[in-house]
Amino acid sequence: MLSLDLLLNAIVAGILLGGFYAAVSLGISVAFGLLDIVNIAHPVFVVLGSYIAYALNSALGLDPLLTGLLGVPVFFALGVVVYRLYYASFEKTGEESLRGLVFFFGLLFIIEVALLLVYGVDYRMVEAAYIGDSLHIGSVGIALRLLVPCLVGIGMTVALYLVLSRTFWGRAIMAVSQDSQALRLMGANPVRIKTIAFGLSIATASLAGALLIVIGPVEPSIGREYIGRVFAIAVLGGMGSIGGTLAAGLILGVVETFTATYYGPSWALAVSFGILLVVLAVRPAGLFGR
Amino acid sequence: MKKGLPLLIAVGVLLAALVATRLVGNRYLYFAGYVIFQYVVLATAWNILGGYTGYVNFGTAGFFALGAYTATVLILAFKAPLPVQIVAGGLVSAVLGLGIGYLTLRLRGVFFSIATLALALVLQTFVMNWEYVGGAKGVSIIRPAAFPPFASYVEFLFFVMAALAVVSAMAAWWIENSWVGRGLAAIRDNEEAAECMGVPTLRLKLLATVVSGCFMGVAGAPFPYYVTLVEPVSAFSLDYAVNSLAMPMIGGTTTWIGPIVGAILLSTAQQVATVTISSELNLLIVGIVLVAFVLLAPQGIVGLVQRLAGRRRA
């Protein structure tokens, strides 16, 4: 039963999907892993990015990846506003565990329903030269609409890793995540650094959203399918480890593709949930956690 | 006297519901009333864990639908009577709560919330692939015949849901005023300190999760007879998750009366709004009201009223 072609194709498709999953999860690894902000609305920001790419693509014919890049500063500003509101209302008073979560849930809900009211329940897609083509290496087919998001996702991971490890602000963000109290004693303002870090995490959603709509058609509630995935990846990768996020994304991509190939596509959604529960039960620190 | 009062109110509500079935002729009111009482149960159940302990459950739809599908299976397999369905629905959802709670509550509470977020979607996938209960297209259920003193089976369901609302409110009242409630409040305020003082935090958290999940399943069990067509999209609707969380947040989370106030206000408003304006817009309003309350009035309506009353007295 186990044909080699099917196996090879599943592995390749899984790796391609995994690079894209990493792109969607990077924002969560920064917000949840490094800053301890449980932004469950992150997938819906990604979907918002998809709709912006769709709107600019259908109106002006802009390439979705270009609109994703153009959206980065806008989403950064959006993240700054959201964090300021979150900090002033919840984090400052230590209310983040219950009310902060509910706040993000409400945000998720408002954005999703607003998209539903504006664009309806129909699936939307973008047009670009590379969507629809595919490469063939031997018996393995590589669809460009999967290859491009995977490469961009890996590029985003490398870029974020370099920002966090090489730049001044990146190191400041790592310092906040390790010990924000000590940072305060050094005379730095953790809130300002966290604002920038959260802006960065939302900024990744703009590009990830463009990738999401390149991979396939998008509808307003598609973000829900990604909530389980992004948190499973963030936890499996080891909370805040950027390299771990990519590794966990690839693992989830391959396991999901295998499940879809051998058991049926509808079961793929259950994989991330299973991984999340198993990791929490067996090794909560994840693969690359400290 | 303070102990007798809730019991008196409970009996009063039930008598009023019974009398209503004799007097009110408009059948729509039973359907609407059923939904309002159902949300009283769901909001109260959510609050037992979320309000008293501070652990947020996003998976109400999963627990609710599990109760509904347990009842569906019992109807299809044995034509089991409604009380059996309700007990079984509650038990199955309680076991789910125990399982999820045991795996995630030992760590940080936020993992519990994340797991419950993914839970409804996964359960829905299982049901969609399960042919016995109709898969994605659902299964129709035939309501039993009406029996006296009820003129129709829907009136009976309305009365049953009123009774379940009363039972759940009394359970919440009892928890709040017993050592269990004090332990849960200690966990909410400072879990580490509570653990150090000898409060069995994990066991209490699990107990709250089980009771909360149980009542959500109980609320879902009469669902098949109410809708008569059980299908995954409506049974797992996100409305349940949003409403069961928004109602206590709007009403007030620290007392048993808060979720009831929130449930009655919000679900009555929704019943009116769904008829007069679109249902999507109505959900958008719920979301905005929820965020507004979380940002501006964290103690909910009950908290606002208490503050006003306190100011007048002072």
Residue A161 in 3-state DSSP?
helix
Domain boundaries, chain A: 4-282
Q: Over 50: is that where the pLDDT of A262 sits?
A: yes
What ipTM is given for this predicted complex? 0.82
* Amino acid of residue A215: I
User: What was the pLDDT predicted at B4?
Assistant: 67
Q: Which of A122-126, A145-149, B8-12, B255-259 has the lowest mean pLDDT?
A: B8-12
Is the pLDDT at A162 greater than 50? The verdict is: yes
B233 touches chain A (CB under 8 A): no
Residue environment code for A197-236, b if the CB has 16+ CB neighbours within 10 A, otherwise e: bbbbbbbbbbbbbbbbbbbeebbbebbbebbbbbbbbbbb
The answer, yes or no, to whether residue A139 has pLDDT greater than 90, is: no
Cα(A40)–Cα(A55) distance, integer angstroms: 25
- The residues of A whose Cβ lies within 8 A of any Cβ of B are 38, 40, 85, 89, 95, 97-99, 101-103, 105-107, 109-110, 113-114, 116-117, 221, 224-225, 227-228, 231-232, 235, 264, 266-267, 269-270, 272-273, 276-277, 280-281, 284
Which region among A133-142, A159-168, B13-22, B262-271 has the lowest average model confidence (pLDDT)? B13-22
Nearest CA to B300 among B270, B256, B242? B256
pLDDT of B3 reads 59
B58 inside 8 A of chain A by CB: yes
Model pLDDT for residues A215-259, shown as the tens digit of each residue: 989 999 898 889 889 999 999 998 888 999 999 999 999 999 999
d(CA A24, CA A40) in angstroms, rounded, equals 13
**Domain residue limits, chain B:** 4-237
Please indicate if any CB of chain A lies within 8 Å of the CB of B136.
Answer: no
Q: What is the rounded CA–CA span in Å between residue B224 and residue B230? A: 6
List, for residues A181-212, the tens digit of each pLDDT value.
888 888 888 899 999 999 999 999 999 999 99
Which chain B residues are Cβ-neighbours of A280 within 8 angstroms?
103-104, 107, 111, 115
Question: What pLDDT score does B1 carry?
Answer: 41
B257 near A CB under 8 A: no
Q: Is the pLDDT of residue A95 over 90?
A: no
Burial class (CB in 10 A: 0-12, 13-18, 19+), B195: middle
pLDDT at residue A273, rounded to an integer: 85
Q: Determine contact, residues B171/B218, Cβ cutoff 8 Å.
A: no
Nearest residue on chain B to A267, judged by CA atoms? Answer: B125
Pick the CATH number of A4-282 from 1.10.3470, 2.60.40, 1.10.10, 1.10.600: 1.10.3470
Q: Give the CA angle between residues B119, B285, B54 to the nearest 5°.
A: 45
Find, in chain A, the residue whose alpha carbon is nearest to that of B136. Answer: A266
Contacts of A269 in chain B (CB under 8 A): 121-122, 125
DSSP helix/strand/coil, A140: strand
**Beta strand pairing status for A140-143 and B229-230?**
unpaired
Phi, psi dihedrals of residue A288, rounded to the nearest 5°: -115, 25
Residue B6 forms contact with A (CB below 8 Å): no
pLDDT band at residue A290 using 50, 70 and 90 as cut-offs? low
State whether A40 and B58 contact (CB < 8 Å).
yes
Mean per-residue pLDDT for A153-159? 95
Mean of the per-residue pLDDT values of chain A: 89
pLDDT, residue B281, reads: 79
CB contact under 8 A, B290 and A106: yes
Kindly report whether the peptide bond that precedes residue B232 is cis, defined as omega within 30 degrees of 0: no
Q: What was the pLDDT predicted at A180?
A: 81
A-B contacts (CB, under 8 Å):
112
> pLDDT 10s digit of each residue in chain B, 314 long?
455 677 777 778 877 877 777 777 777 888 888 999 999 999 999 999 988 888 889 999 999 999 999 999 999 998 889 999 999 999 999 999 999 888 888 777 788 888 888 888 889 888 988 888 888 888 888 888 888 778 888 888 998 999 999 999 999 999 988 988 888 888 888 888 888 888 888 899 999 999 999 999 999 999 999 998 999 988 998 888 888 989 999 998 888 889 999 999 888 888 887 777 777 777 788 888 888 888 888 888 888 888 888 776 65
Q: Give, as one character, the DSSP assignment of residue B133.
A: G
Q: At B199, list the tokens.
A: 């409060």
Residues on chain A touching B54 (C-beta within 8 angstroms) = 97-98
Contacts of B249 in chain A (CB under 8 A): 99, 102
Nearest CB among B110, B126, B129 relative to A38 is that of: B110
Identify all chain B residues contacting A28, using CB atoms and an 8 Å cutoff.
Answer: none
Which chain A residues are Cβ-neighbours of B104 within 8 angstroms?
277, 280
CA distance A2 to A163: 43
Rounded distance, CA B150 to CA B163, Å?
A: 15
Residue B299: φ, ψ to 5°: -90, 0
